[in-house]
Amino acid sequence: MKPRYRYTSLILVALILTVGFVLLCSQTGYGETLQDKLLGTGGGFIPIEGWITTAVDWMAINFRPLFDVVTIIVNVVNDTIITILRFGDWHYSGVFVFNIFGTVVQIPLLAGLVGLLMWYLSGSIVTGSAGLVMLWLAANFGYWPETIETFSLTLTSAFLALVLGIPTGIFAAINDTADTIIRPILDLMQTMPVFVYLIPAVLFFGIGPAPGAVATVIFAYPPAVRLTNLGIRGVPTELIEAGESFGCNNIQLLTKVQLPVARPNIMAGVNQTIMLALSMAVVAGLVGAGGLGGVVVRGIQRMRVGEGFVGGLVVVFVAMILDRATSNIGQSTTEEA
């Protein structure tokens, strides 16, 4: 570190400590010792809990239109995915409206297609058949609608997380200041216990898939940003120079050199995002997002061990299907490259 910066940061730390100490002393009330404050026995001296509660309440009222727009976006994406997965079942806000085929046709059709898709993506017929068998089992355990709901909530959240995350990652990769600012925010998003923001999500987005999806997006967004950023920053300098030396402008450099070279990394980010979205989509069952998470939560609440366990098992099936399908996309590009 350069001397100048070292001194600046030292001064800054000293300043913060001084202000903190003065604040501490000034807030120490009658009959209360400084020690009480420091040990927290006096109830803390920065009333941050109150601030947050007030802020959340205020936002729930004043940001209503914004939250409504988000709810609509989530519902549209989610409904579309469910409609596709159920071949013509038409849903609105996660509620079944209309169906052109019967469920009897849907199950083998979707299981078969997923099996074929996995076979194609992984190149292994064993993987393909495993996918088919797992979906068939899920249906026969009696959790077909829940499986589809979890699938669609996961894909919806992963889709939104990627749509937001990849551009953020690109921005963080080409702008160092943005990177410095974004990094701690991502840390916060990834390490903050999820239950903490599930509750405000319900306040903001009501019931249905929306609050679950929003919480899931918050949780699944960081890896998309991080791996895109990492991938682009990891592009060898010589390749950037090659691009520049042939007269690329910044956009061409990004689309013709950086993004394609970073593709294996970005694909790993896609895979991570989908897996994290699934784990969170299950937890979102706590706030009534339905799906397999709902099955597990119900099992726990009513002490039905079997139900909870089977719900969990189907979650594992869904996880394996999603992982095998998406991890192979990344792999096939590295081989090709």
Partner 1 sequence: MPSIELEDVYKIFGDEPEIALKLLKEGKGKDKIQAETGQVVGVRGISFTIEDNELFVIMGLSGSGKSTLLRCVNRLVEPTSGKIVLHADGTDYDVVNADSETLRQIRETQMSMVFQNFALFPHRTVIDNVAFGLEIQEVNKKERVRKAKELIEVVGLEGFGDSYPNQLSGGMQQRVGLARGLATGAEILLMDEPFSALDPLIKVQMQDELLDLMEEMQRTILFVTHDLDEALKLGDRITIMEAGKMVQLGNPEQIIVNPKTEYVADFVENADPSDVLRSETVATTSFEPDENNRVRLTESAEVELDSKGRPVQGYFSQTPIEIRSLDELSELNEDVILSTGPDTPISKIMRARLTYATTPVIIVRDGVMIGFVTERNILHGLLEKGREDL
Q: Is 80 exposed, middle or buried (0-12, 13-18, 19+ CB in 10 A)?
A: middle
Q: Does 244 bind partner 1 (CB under 8 A)?
A: yes
Q: Does 177 bind partner 1 (CB under 8 A)?
A: no
Q: Does 330 bind partner 1 (CB under 8 A)?
A: no
Pick 99 or 333: Cβ nearer partner 1 = 333
Q: Judged by CB under 8 A, which of 248, 300, 320, 329 binds partner 1?
A: 248
* Least Å from the CB of residue 334 to partner 1: 9
Residue partners of 269: CB distance under 8 A and separation at least 6: 165, 166, 169, 223, 224, 225, 226, 227, 228, 231
User: Would you state the structure tokens that stand for residue 46, as one six-digit string?
Assistant: 């920065």
* Binding window for partner 1 (CB under 8 A); candidates: 7-15, 130-138, 209-217, 260-268: 260-268
Residue written as token pair 């010589």: 238
Q: Does 5 bind partner 1 (CB under 8 A)?
A: no
CA 279 from centre of chain: 9
- Interaction with partner 1 in 266-295: which residues (CB under 8 A)? none
Work out whether the CA dihedral 120, 124, 126, 131 comes out positive or negative: negative
CA 274 from centre of chain: 8
Q: Judged by CB under 8 A, which of 104, 196, 303, 337 binds partner 1?
A: 337
- Interaction with partner 1 in 60-119: which residues (CB under 8 A)? none
Q: Does 304 bind partner 1 (CB under 8 A)?
A: no
CA 321 from centre of chain: 18
Q: Judged by CB under 8 A, which of 17, 84, 163, 242 binds partner 1?
A: 242
Size of the site for partner 1 (CB under 8 A): 21
Q: Does 236 bind partner 1 (CB under 8 A)?
A: yes
Q: Does 256 bind partner 1 (CB under 8 A)?
A: yes
Distances, alpha carbon 200 to alpha carbons 38, 124, 160, in Å? 30, 44, 19
Pick 102 or 247: Cβ nearer partner 1 = 247
Q: Judged by CB under 8 A, which of 60, 137, 239, 313 binds partner 1?
A: 239
Beta carbons of 186 and 244 less than 8 angstroms apart:
no
Distance CA 181, CA 173 (A): 12
* Least Å from the CB of residue 269 to partner 1: 17
Q: Is 69 exposed, middle or buried (0-12, 13-18, 19+ CB in 10 A)?
A: exposed
Binding site for partner 1 (CB under 8 A): 2, 236, 238-239, 241-242, 244-249, 252, 256-257, 260-261, 263, 333, 336-337
